[in-house]
Amino acid sequence: MKFNVETQALPYSTIILHCLKYPSKGVFGLLIGHKKGDKVTVTGCIPLCHESTPLAPPLELATALVHGKFGASLVGVYFANANPSDTSLNMYAIRLADKITTVTSSPAILIQVMNERLVSDCDQDRLVAFEKDGDSWKETKTLFQGSNFLRALQTVIQKKLYRELADFENHLDNPEADFYNTNLSNKLVQIAELRS
Residue 166 interacting with another protein (CB under 8 A): yes
Q: Nearest-5° angle of CA 136, CA 62, CA 127?
A: 45
Residue 69 interacting with another protein (CB under 8 A): yes
Distance CA 63, CA 184 (A): 21
Residues in the chain: 196
Phi, psi of 184 (to 5 degrees): -60, -40
Residue 116 interacting with another protein (CB under 8 A): no
Residue 60 interacting with another protein (CB under 8 A): yes
Binding track over 71-90 against another protein, x by CB under 8 A: ------------x-xx----
**Beta carbons of 29 and 45 less than 8 angstroms apart:** yes
71 residue type, one letter: G
Which one, of 133, 80, 78, 82, lies nearest residue 100 by Cα? 78
Cα separations in angstroms, 183 against 49, 78, 166, 179, 186: 19, 21, 11, 10, 5
Residue 23 interacting with another protein (CB under 8 A): yes
Stretch that binds another protein, among 108-116, 124-132, 143-151, 168-176 (CB under 8 A): 168-176
Residue 117 interacting with another protein (CB under 8 A): no
Residue 123 interacting with another protein (CB under 8 A): no
Which one, of 87, 84, 103, lies nearest residue 95 by Cα? 103
| 8, 35, 43, 103: residue in contact with another protein (rule CB under 8 A) | 103
| 7, 13, 14, 63: residue in contact with another protein (rule CB under 8 A) | 63
Residue 65 interacting with another protein (CB under 8 A): yes
Instruction: Enumerate binding residues for another protein (CB under 8 A).
Output: 23-24, 51-53, 55-58, 60-61, 63-65, 67-69, 83, 85-86, 91, 99, 102-103, 160, 163-166, 170-173, 175-180, 182-183
